[in-house]
Amino acid sequence: MHDRVVARFRDKSQTTKRGWSRLKPLLGVLLSWFIIGLRLSNGQDSATQDQILNQYKVHLKTLEKAGQDSTLKGKHTLTMSMNGKQLINRQEDLMIARNGSNTLLRLSALHPHVIPKDRTERIREGEEINLCLPPDTYSIKSAQLGGPYYMPKSGPVDETELKTLAAYNGSFLGAPYSLLSHSIGTLLEDPQFRVTSVTPEKADGGDRWKIAFTSKIDSPSFLPGSGWFIVDPGRHWSLEAFEYRTTPKTAPASKEVAVSTSITRGSVKYGLTADLPSVERIEIVDNATMSDRKTYETKEVVEVAKMEWSNYPRDQFSLEYYSLDDLAGTAWKKRVWRAILLGIAAVAFFVISVLIQRRRFRKAAAELN
């Protein structure tokens, strides 16, 4: 009995081995087909992603070209809090216009500011205008709406004012084609900015594309991190929403306070138009934790009253509009005198260098004699 059971078990075992040996080649073929199919699928996904990005870049160029000469008017609200306590609550009328490399930023109306110490508000009325006409920038102010205007500062391009203009221009006037005040077209060409995926996104009014990315760009206005943004192909591929998380940083060795982590979220709403997208509302919220462990929340909202593509107020891109044309001549004269003085200094330096070299040569010759 025992021998028969053992013999039967051996027969079944050998049959199983023979069956398994026959199945091995078939399983190998199936596995190969699966791997090939997976690779083809990934290749198709990659090709589709490239096609979508290339199509997106074409529309970005159209938007950016139209944005070279455009105007946005609306009401701007800025609030900031630290550890839950409000620091700033500011409202103002906003106009930002662009004509190529020339940029105009005009903030006017009542500006309430919350003072942290006594928790009271101060109302400041007037206008602040930053006018950039390279190679000069002009800071123009008025104590009341409509002037009279005065110019506390003018001259060569000021880096701080340029950053302010770039932030307003990219975040608001360039909202359909910008991310954190940076041109998306420029970011996509940067080798430190890498798109990780392009996926369809369902939404009311049609399909969208969600583009995820990582970035190693390290600048004060664009720290390393990762995020995503959503574009609407049905509206000239305009930006609709985004989220960006910075890479956590260790506290700096110095006492200087720096951003440790931050999450910035934004959304752009548009009106109904068959032409270029008409922005109606922009909202940007930034939550940052600093190296000193303080947390800040900054929220900016622009309720757009009017947006015009390929149109800008030509008259306001001139100091004559603000009755300051005499000062423009003064700024030009300053540049001329500055150039003359620099030229004189260069010539003087060259002459002194030649005299010193001659003196050394004569001294060396005298020692040899």
Backbone phi, psi, residue 12, to 5°:
-65, -40
The answer to whether residue 86 is domain-embedded is yes
The answer to whether residue 282 is domain-embedded is yes
The answer to whether residue 28 is domain-embedded is no
Q: Total domain count for the chain?
A: 2
C-alpha 151/C-alpha 325 separation (Å) is 11
The answer to whether residue 212 is domain-embedded is yes
E strand or H helix that includes residue 28: helix 2-67
Give residue 156's Cα distance to chain centre. 24
CB 217 within 8 Å of CB 225: no
The answer to whether residue 369 is domain-embedded is no
349 and 234 in one domain? no
Give 320-333 as a DSSP string. GGGT-HHHHHHHHH
The sign of the dihedral angle between the CA atoms of 151, 154, 160, 164 is positive
Q: What is residue 36's three-state secondary structure? A: helix
pLDDT of residue 238: 94
342 and 206 in one domain? no
CB 305 within 8 Å of CB 86: no
206 and 127 in one domain? yes
E strand or H helix that includes residue 147: none
Token duo for residue 151: 């110019």
194 and 71 in one domain? yes
130 and 221 in one domain? yes
CB 65 within 8 Å of CB 283: no
184 and 214 in one domain? yes
Backbone phi, psi, residue 225, to 5°:
175, -160
Give residue 337's Cα distance to chain centre. 37
Q: What is residue 236's three-state secondary structure? A: coil
354 and 214 in one domain? no
Here the CATH number for the domain that contains residue 138 is 2.50.20
Parent domain of 344: 333-359
The answer to whether residue 142 is domain-embedded is yes
The answer to whether residue 11 is domain-embedded is no
Start-to-end CA span in the chain (Å): 126
Give me the long-range contacts of 110-118 (CB less than 8 A, separation at least 24): 113/88, 113/89, 114/86, 114/87, 114/88, 114/89, 116/85, 116/87
The DSSP bridge pattern shows strands 295-308 and 69-82 to be antiparallel
310 and 343 in one domain? no
The answer to whether residue 48 is domain-embedded is no
pLDDT (tens digit, 0 to 9) for every residue of the chain, 369 residues total? 444 433 443 444 444 445 545 555 555 545 544 444 444 344 446 668 889 999 999 999 999 988 888 999 999 998 899 888 888 888 889 999 998 888 888 888 655 555 455 554 555 568 888 888 887 888 888 888 788 888 876 555 566 666 777 777 778 989 999 998 899 999 999 999 999 999 998 877 678 999 999 999 988 778 889 999 999 998 899 999 999 998 776 555 555 666 678 899 999 999 877 678 889 999 999 998 887 788 889 999 999 999 888 888 888 888 888 888 655 444 444 544 555 666 676 666 665 765 666 666 666 656 655
78 and 220 in one domain? yes
pLDDT of residue 18: 52
Angle (CA) 244-69-141 rounded to 5° is 85
346 and 254 in one domain? no
CB 297 within 8 Å of CB 287: yes
231 and 273 in one domain? yes
337 and 199 in one domain? no
Token duo for residue 212: 């995820």
C-alpha 136/C-alpha 353 separation (Å) is 34
Token duo for residue 162: 């340029």
